[in-house]
Amino acid sequence: MSNTTLTRDSLASRKAMIDSQLRTSGVNEEFALARMMAVPREEFIPADKAHLAYIDRSVAVGDGVLAAPLFYGKVLIEAAPSAQDSALVVEGGTGYLAELLRPLVADLHTVSAADAAAGKIGSGSHSLIVIDGAIEQLPECLGDALEEGGRVVGGLVERGVTRLASGRKVAGQIALLAVEDLGIPVLHYFDRPKGWTF
């Protein structure tokens, strides 16, 4: 199959994703649709899984996961990135979310979920933190890296249900509030410690 055919098929798949998965689920903001049309999902997963790039569910990729398209569309809208933002992306293992955000913000940094959970996020503060997956708890280091008034957007696990969530840092405190139930891969690095039960 030629590169021209692959490109044409990829563009058609992205258009179908936008029309049948995103627009029908309330993702209609042009900036989000434009980024998702511009970035080929198949470039962020192994070649043998390329045929799964545009399905409406997550695709496991080694130690990471490429979440369903709807998650990324909703995250972009909720994050509302601006050209003034310094953004930090907590990676889900593919680099796709960072590529979606990169041209929408002033500067962008990434950190693996494992490093973020271990407190290894580097120095500097950010006005926007976006998490590529669902977490049970936000580690203190990420809260510290968020500027006062800054936003954090990602997935939240509550009683076994994953939800899109967002929060803002006010008076040094961050409360992640659920926006809507959504299928989101769980980043187990951020699980709460399991206590004893009787």
In percent, the amount of the chain with pLDDT more than 90 equals 88
3 state SS of 36:
helix
Q: What is d(CA 74, CA 163) in angstroms, rounded to the nearest whole number?
A: 11
Residue with tokens 């996020």: 121
Task: Note the pLDDT tens digit of each residue in 6-22.
Answer: 578 899 999 999 999 99
Counting every residue, how long is the chain? 198
Task: Note the pLDDT tens digit of each residue in 97-109.
Answer: 999 999 999 999 9
Residue type, 75: V
Which DSSP category does 25 fall into? G
- Is-contact 162 69, C-beta < 8 A? no
pLDDT band for position 48 (cuts 50, 70, 90): very high
Tell me the whole-structure pTM to 2 decimals: 0.92
Check residue 9 and give its pLDDT.
87
Nearest-5° angle of CA 89, CA 185, CA 110? 15
Check residue 2 and give its pLDDT.
44
Residue type, 160: G
The CATH architecture one would assign to domain 3-190 is 3-Layer(aba) Sandwich (3.40)
Q: What is d(CA 86, CA 45) in angstroms, rounded to the nearest whole number?
A: 27
Please compute, for residue 187, the number of CA atoms within 13 A of its CA located in the half-sphere on the CB side. 28
Q: What is d(CA 161, CA 152) in angstroms, rounded to the nearest whole number?
A: 19
In percent, the amount of the chain with pLDDT more than 70 equals 95
List the chain domain ranges: 3-190
